[in-house]
Structure 1
Amino acid sequence: MPAVLHAAGIDVVRGGRYLLRDINFTVHPGEHWALLGPNGAGKSTLLHILGAFGHPTHGTVDVLGHRLGRVDMRELRTHIGHVDPRHRLDLPLKAHDVVLTGLTNTPELDPRRRYTGAEHRHADELLELLGMSQRRDSAWTTMSQGERGRTLIARALMPKPSLLLLDEPATGLDLAAREQLLTSIDQLRNEVGDLASVLVTHHLEDLPTSTSHALLLRDGKSVIQGAVELSLTSATITKCFDHSVLVTRDRGRWAARSS
């Protein structure tokens, strides 16, 4: 089965400094990757490129079968679901309408577009999948951070993407909201079997149980990558964060503390 993402030997250089160096990374349908590393490791830079928002300085990147530099980046981004909890929206749009904006990737509904009954039903189905049916008509400005996070995931799924990128989706959530969000992500991945995803975080505790692979970055370089059984261990996390860490896993969830 063709790869959803394939990066070969990519470097990103800014002002003479390497933000990423010789990154090789492949994601196949149905795989759910964690992208981990300390501040400044290059996680956001890599996600920016994988989301077709930028080009590497050296190397090649193929996203959904299209080579960056040979494709309309704006059109390609319409096939990628991107979840950013820092999404700015000051309008009191209802949750249902926020999800609909995922079709055009705009902050508000497109007044020139006529949304079909099927599109409205799909928006409601996604809200139900993310546990937000009861908040369908709630205004964005009145939602909790956790409710906004789940609404943004539904929004990202509206165009039925093959790839979902989640940029620290648990940022700013309290314990209950985080658990609800991670449960929703697990359920989503179970329901959409061929969906591929990459989730960026600093914290192992923020990883859903459905995480299948991980790429660990430090100083712009790959520390290790592969199946979680090999990539998320006390030794690999200790090396990645340059701090002695004990990693444990219980009922599919990870935890880390100083050893």
Structure 2
Amino acid sequence: MAAVIINIKNAVVSYREDVALRGVSLEIRVGEMIGVIGPNGAGKTTLLTLINGLGHLLQGEVWVLGHDVSRGCLAALRSRIGYVPQLPAIDPRMPVTVREVVMMGRYGRLGFFRRPGPKDWQRVDDLLQRVGMEHLAGRPIGHLSGGEQQRVAIARALAQEPEILLLDEPTASLDRKGEQQILTLIQRIHKERQLTTLMVTHSLAGLDALCDRLVLMKGGRIWQTGTPAALLTEKVLELLF
């Protein structure tokens, strides 16, 4: 059996006056593909934030890649966790190219005071080719469609050469075709790079083929975990949503 790479025990997380996670416990093993689903306000994004070392932990323990997150270990985790946030609105006038955006992902590994060298730029170019965006490398990031921006965001996260990949609503605002293309890309990258992947999503299409396990969240708690076959049923989903 694969080793545990993320171990959360009775975690309580708050933002100001609001408790976002309430006694959450979860073990994730190396190489798993986990889908996290639930209604708005369930704590899904907060769960990713906690794993990424940025949650305000009031109670409990969180161990990620052998590090106790509660003791502050951002430097140790920065290059080992790739994070793809929900896509923000990008000003089309922003003078940053696709290639430069992906290079931003290298700084977690390089450090902010080191300049990227030829090998780093080659790494960026290889990733752009891998996600099918090499032909748009010189285009301003704000000129891309939503699906194209999502591909760039995934490449930027992979530029860190992570062991864990966290994705927050990677198919939000995409049409059905774009959604399927992104999910296929995520699945291929997960397998090729032997990553441990957690994906928050509202879209249930394709999760049965994509995920090893689902985490269902509700009211800041983990409500159920199990295989897609066991949980993607009409009865369970009616109770969840």
Do they fold alike, i.e. is TM over 0.5? yes
- Distance of aligned partners of 1:96 and 1:226 in 2 relative to their CA distance in 1, 3 Å threshold: same
Residue 22 of structure 1 corresponds to: 23
Residue 85 of structure 1 corresponds to: 86
| Displacement of 1:229 | 2.4
| Displacement of 1:118 | 1.8
1:113 equivalent in alignment to 2:117: no
Q: What is the 5 A alignment of 1:45-56?
A: 45-56=46-57
Residue 102 of structure 2 corresponds to: 99
| Structure 2: distance between partners of 1:144 and 1:238 | 33
% of aligned pairs identical?
Answer: 32
Larger deviation, residues 167-176 vs 68-77:
68-77
| Displacement of 1:74 | 4.5
Matched-pair contact (CA < 8 Å) for 1:170–1:206: no
SS in 2 for 1:69: helix
- Distance of aligned partners of 1:94 and 1:18 in 2 relative to their CA distance in 1, 3 Å threshold: closer
Task: Return the structure number with greater helix share.
Answer: 2
Matched-pair contact (CA < 8 Å) for 2:14–2:56: no
Residue 162 of structure 1 corresponds to: 163
The aligned amino acid for 2:130 is L
Larger deviation, residues 225-234 vs 96-105:
225-234
Ranges in structure 1 where 5+ consecutive residues have no aligned partner? 242-259
CA-to-partner distance for each residue in 1:200-239, whole Å, 9 max, x for gaps? 1122127483221110011112221122222332232222
SS in 1 for 2:71: coil
Residue 215 of structure 1 corresponds to: 215
- Distance of aligned partners of 1:71 and 1:18 in 2 relative to their CA distance in 1, 3 Å threshold: closer
| Displacement of 1:138 | 1.9
The aligned amino acid for 1:100 is M
| Displacement of 1:87 | 4.5
The aligned amino acid for 2:74 is M
| Structure 1: distance between partners of 2:72 and 2:15 | 23
Query: What TM-score do you get using the length of structure 1 for normalisation?
Result: 0.82
| Structure 1: distance between partners of 2:46 and 2:145 | 28
1:142 equivalent in alignment to 2:143: yes
Matched-pair contact (CA < 8 Å) for 1:185–1:208: no
RMSD of aligned C-alpha atoms?
2.4
Ranges in structure 2 where 5+ consecutive residues have no aligned partner? none
Matched-pair contact (CA < 8 Å) for 1:4–1:162: no
1:224 equivalent in alignment to 2:224: yes
Query: What TM-score do you get using the length of structure 2 for normalisation?
Result: 0.88
